[in-house]
Chains A and B, each alone.
Chain A
Amino acid sequence: QKEVEQNSGPLSVPEGAIASLNCTYSDRGSQSFFWYRQYSGKSPELIMSIYSNGDKEDGRFTAQLNKASQYVSLLIRDSQPSDSATYLCAVIYGTSYGKLTFGQGTILTVHP
Chain B
Amino acid sequence: DGGITQSPKYLFRKEGQNVTLSCEQNLNHDAMYWYRQDPGQGLRLIYYSQIVNDFQKGDIAEGYSVSREKKESFPLTVTSAQKNPTAFYLCASSDRALTEAFFGQGTRLTVV
Give the distance in Å from the alpha carbon of A46 to the alpha carbon of B41 in the complex. 17
The answer, among A88, A98, A101, A103, for a CB contact under 8 Å with B99, is A98
Is the CB of B48 closer than 8 A to any CB of chain A? yes
Residues of chain A from 30 to 81 with CB closer than 8 A to chain B in the complex: 31-32, 34, 42-46, 49
Q: How large is the interface on A (under 10, 10 to 19, 20 to 34, 35 or more residues)?
A: 20 to 34
Once the chains bind, are B42 and A45 in contact (CB under 8 Å)?
A: no
Count of inter-chain pairs, beta carbons less than 8 A: 64
Number of chain B residues whose Cβ lies closer than 8 Å to a Cβ of chain A: 28
Give the distance in Å from the alpha carbon of A35 to the alpha carbon of B40 in the complex. 17
The answer, among B58, B99, B102, for a CB contact under 8 Å with A97, is B99
Once the chains bind, are B105 and A88 in contact (CB under 8 Å)?
A: no
Is the CB of A28 closer than 8 A to any CB of chain B? no
Q: A88: which B residues are within 8 A, CB to CB?
A: 42-43
Once the chains bind, are B92 and A98 in contact (CB under 8 Å)?
A: yes
For the complex formed, measure the closest distance between the CB of A46 and the CB atoms of chain B, giving whole angstroms.
Answer: 5
| B contact residues vs A (CB 8 Å cutoff) | 30-31, 33, 35, 40-45, 48, 50, 58, 90, 92-96, 98-106
| A contact residues vs B (CB 8 Å cutoff) | 4, 31-32, 34, 42-46, 49, 88, 90, 92, 97-105
Interface pairs (5), CB distance under 8 Å = A88-B43, A97-B95, A98-B31, A99-B48, A102-B44
